[in-house]
Amino acid sequence: MTEDKTTKTTTEAKAEVTETISAPKAVETVKEVAPETKTSSTSKTTPKDGHWWWGTGRRKAAVARVRIRPGTGLFNVNKKDLTEYFTELRDHQNVLKILEKTNTSRSLDIFVNANGGGYTGQAGAIILGLSRALAKYDPSLESLLRSNGYLSRDPRRVERKKPGQPGARKRFQFSKR
């Protein structure tokens, strides 16, 4: 009887081996299909107006209207170069980080009209507007942009000043008597 049990386990092991051998064949067929579907999903869309892909971004009190098109890598913000407009290295790097992650830094011309708020708010608005425009330009980039948090708007705003107080949260000194 013990011999029967061992033969059963060896036949079960053989069945498992054949299953594992057949599994890579299925993976090979998936590898053959994946590039075809990938090329069809990475095909660029055509913009509605025929020339530009638009994206609007907002942060704090700043609004940025971003237009992109295939080109040489030109990046203008309010008719100035990106490095001239953003003097803070942090803002400049944050804006360019999107283009590096999506590998589109030298293939797109980007034109931005930004107004309202300060430089940091405008940089955040440009990041959101650029990511929205890139998602329209190439829909396959949307998952990458969403996983890195570029497609979510930062809802924080400046809290308003309350009446009878010197600021939004600050209070006058309390006097018991």
Domain containing 60 — which CATH number? 3.30.230.10
Is residue 67, in this structure, part of any structural domain at all?
yes
Is residue 36, in this structure, part of any structural domain at all?
no
Is residue 91, in this structure, part of any structural domain at all?
yes
pLDDT band at 50 (very low <50, low <70, confident <90, very high): low
Is residue 175, in this structure, part of any structural domain at all?
no
Is residue 38, in this structure, part of any structural domain at all?
no
Give how far Cα 48 sits from Cα of 8, 43, 66, 109, Å.
66, 16, 15, 17
User: Which three-class secondary structure state does DSSP give residue 64?
Assistant: strand
Q: What is the pLDDT of residues 117-142, one digit of tens each?
A: 999 999 999 999 999 999 999 999 99
Per the prediction, the chain carries an average pLDDT of 79
Within 13 Å and on the Cβ side, how many CA atoms surround 83?
1
Q: Which bin fits 140, alpha (ψ -120 to 50), beta or left (φ > 0)?
A: alpha
Is residue 65, in this structure, part of any structural domain at all?
yes
Number of domains present in the structure of the chain: 1
Residue type, 56: T
pTM as predicted: 0.69
110: exposed, middle or buried (Cβ count in 10 Å: 0-12, 13-18, 19+): buried
DSSP annotation of 61 reads T
Domain housing 60: 53-147
Is residue 18, in this structure, part of any structural domain at all?
no
Task: Check whether 167 has a pLDDT greater than 80.
Answer: yes
Is residue 129, in this structure, part of any structural domain at all?
yes
Outline where DSSP puts E strands in 27-143: 53-59, 62-70, 75-77, 80-81, 108-115
pLDDT band at 91 (very low <50, low <70, confident <90, very high): very high
